[in-house]
Structure 1
Amino acid sequence: MESITKNRQSLDTLRAMVTRAYGKDQVPSRTGKWVHELGHGWFNVAYRVRLRDGRDVVLKIAPPPGVDVMTYERGAMATELAAIELIRESTAVPVPAVDFVDTTGELGGADWFFMPYVDADNYGVIRSTLSAREQDKLDQALGLATRELNAIRGDRFGPLIGPGSPSWRTQFLTMFETVLADGSRKGVDLDYPALRALAESQAGCLDEVTEPRLVEWDLWDSNVLVRDGRIVCIIDHERAFYGDPLIEAGFVATQLRSFGDPTAFLRGYGKLTLTPAEHDRRRLYTLHLTLIMLIETAYRGVTGPRHLDWVRARLTEALALFDRP
């Protein structure tokens, strides 16, 4: 996907990064196709690089400092690295190893890191080619993996790195407010006072969440790598934080069916239905998500009407949830 946040680099800079990470002996020759961009992401740029010894690795580069991003995206690469380390230490969920990290900004003007390339298919890309039974199996496995990730406990709600809050209500309303501020700063056409008042009036349901849990938040099928009918790696952890597991991507479809059928995910997660109170929390999270989906288009430089119309429709659906019992 195209985005102005992608910090693309010259071949000379990419070679310099390889040198710093793996040594001069691994720098690819100047002939042959040794690098290509992995295009499915919408924030960082990522390259598949073939080292001189034949190994394939992935280089991920953060946006340059001069590019404006949404508030929750600041420091996203540091969050991703912290999440990978935490998941590797605390669960059996497969996530990438990290070969090398550079935070100096000397090459590319931003943070970057290398990890081994995982030879597998992107589930979001191949989903439509799979049978219903194959999709059901993978969705169930994704529910199980999400539950294992959510079992990691934190000591406060909020970012993995930096200050948080002992109250989920306080933390979520802060997150919601920063999204509104991001939209206002870019001039996105929304009724900000009404949205703020709606969230505050519904926030009482958040008080029943008292234990911070790790949430990936961005665990869509496009961030799942599969091989031979199994999940072999989960990627893109830069949006992780400590919060309510019900905010996870797999639960969105319980209210917005344009995101698919949640049945197999819920079965894998071990939560077949939501209580009325959970539905109340979930609709706040759905509103929050659809606002981000709309506002982030201004930060990505998206101008095509097709995508904008689609996200506006999802926001309309999210708002309509508050008119239902």
Structure 2
Amino acid sequence: MTEASREMVVRRLRRALGPVEPLSATRLSGGWYNSAWLLELAGGRRLVLKSAPPADAPALSHECGLLGTERVFHRLAGEAGVPVPTVLHHESAAEDGVSEWLLLEYLDGTTMDAARDRIAPGARAALRRGLGAAVARIAGVTGTEYGYPQPTAPPLGASDWPTAFARMLGAVLADAERFGVALPVPPDRLAGLPARCAAQLAEVKRPALVHFDAWEGNVVVRRRPSGAWELVGLIDGERAFFGDPLAELVGLDPLGAAEHDADLIAGYRSVDPDLTLDEAASARLALYRVYLALIMRVEAAPRGYGADHRAWLTSWSETRVTDQLAVLDRLLG
């Protein structure tokens, strides 16, 4: 850690907690947008300090006040009984004068993704059931409006889901043009998807809270002294929005299809037995998979991903988008 970084960490820690000195501050890896430090305090307490890029850094349209979104998500999810980090302090870029930041309690454990090779099949099934129950509880939280919770220009929210989702998708298409990212199919075909799926989108009658990034890299687990694995909590709620609870299944498995995970769905239905996976739901899932694949493709430009990762994203997202468009053609005719 550079001296300037350490000074920033100490200044923000003291701003939140008063005259305290971290015993150590370790930069955490794995984040693609925000930077994060693990702070060790006297007495064994551990915290995470997350910092956003400068406000003028290149970003996608919805990447506005993401740590404010994470604060909102953790508060609401925690109130719903889902284990998430406790938020200790949050400041916007305007308040801080440099960049937005967030101070959280640390969840002690490892990510499910990192522990994958150590988790036996039976233990994994139990963890996936627990994760399904957790995201169902998250989906039980109702917002006041559909879309992203932070103010953006243009707005990415609305009083109904078809309008909100059309704005969300339209913003990613505009971002692709702004950053010079070629799309896998003509933009007009993608822009017309919300109107094509209007009837299916209109089935969503409640703005449910959606994490949208609850893949196993954002699921913290821990092994008890007995050897059994337990779900510690969900982290990184910065991509959350209010919308169709089915969209959570896309974020749970960005490369696959979480609705085919019997353990996950059983856990979800233990909380919400009314989860419906009919043809209309399949159409919406295909639509949300297109949306996420486009985000992953376009964000490579402002984030400056390396050539190999960017090439993989370009190839994968083309396959993902064309496959999901074929699903929509089959379902909608």
TM-score, structure 2 normalization:
0.85
Change (3 A) 1:9 1:273: farther
- SS at structure 2 position matched to 1:69: coil
- SS at structure 1 position matched to 2:26: strand
| CA displacement at 1:55 relative to structure 2 | 2.1
1:116 pairs, out of 105, 110, 131, with 105
Letter in 2 for 1:175: M
User: How many angstroms apart in 1 are the aligned matches of 2:231 and 2:322?
Assistant: 34
State the number of aligned residues.
Answer: 311
Contact 1:100–1:113 (CA<8 Å) still a contact in 2?
A: yes
Q: Which runs of 5+ in 2 are unaligned?
A: 224-228
Alignment partner, residue 16 of structure 2 = 21
1:132 pairs, out of 121, 127, 133, with 121
- SS at structure 1 position matched to 2:107: coil
1:70 pairs, out of 60, 65, 77, with 60
Alignment partner, residue 296 of structure 1 = 299
- SS at structure 1 position matched to 2:239: coil
| CA displacement at 1:311 relative to structure 2 | 4.8
Instruction: Tell whether 2:256 aligns with 1:257.
Output: yes
User: How many angstroms apart in 1 are the aligned matches of 2:59 and 2:103?
Assistant: 23
Alignment partner, residue 269 of structure 1 = 268
| CA displacement at 1:309 relative to structure 2 | 2.2
User: How many angstroms apart in 1 are the aligned matches of 2:298 and 2:4?
Assistant: 27
Alignment partner, residue 161 of structure 2 = 168
User: How many angstroms apart in 2 are the aligned matches of 1:122 and 1:107?
Assistant: 31
Alignment partner, residue 73 of structure 2 = 83
User: How many angstroms apart in 1 are the aligned matches of 2:59 and 2:208?
Assistant: 26
Contact 1:150–1:215 (CA<8 Å) still a contact in 2?
A: yes
| CA displacement at 1:256 relative to structure 2 | 5.5
Alignment partner, residue 181 of structure 2 = 188
Contact 1:220–1:249 (CA<8 Å) still a contact in 2?
A: no
Alignment partner, residue 205 of structure 2 = 210
Alignment partner, residue 226 of structure 1 = 221
Instruction: Tell whether 2:29 aligns with 1:35.
Output: no
Instruction: Spell out, residue by residue over 1:260-308, the C-alpha distance to the aligned partner (whole angstroms, 9 max, x if none).
Output: 9622211211278720111111111111111111111112101323453
Moved more, 229-238 or 162-171: 162-171
Change (3 A) 1:187 1:250: closer
Contact 2:249–2:257 (CA<8 Å) still a contact in 1?
A: no
Aligned-pair identity in percent equals 33
Contact 1:9–1:108 (CA<8 Å) still a contact in 2?
A: no
Change (3 A) 1:262 1:314: farther
User: How many angstroms apart in 2 are the aligned matches of 1:53 and 1:188?
Assistant: 49
Moved more, 114-123 or 276-285: 114-123
Letter in 2 for 1:232: V
TM-score, structure 1 normalization:
0.87
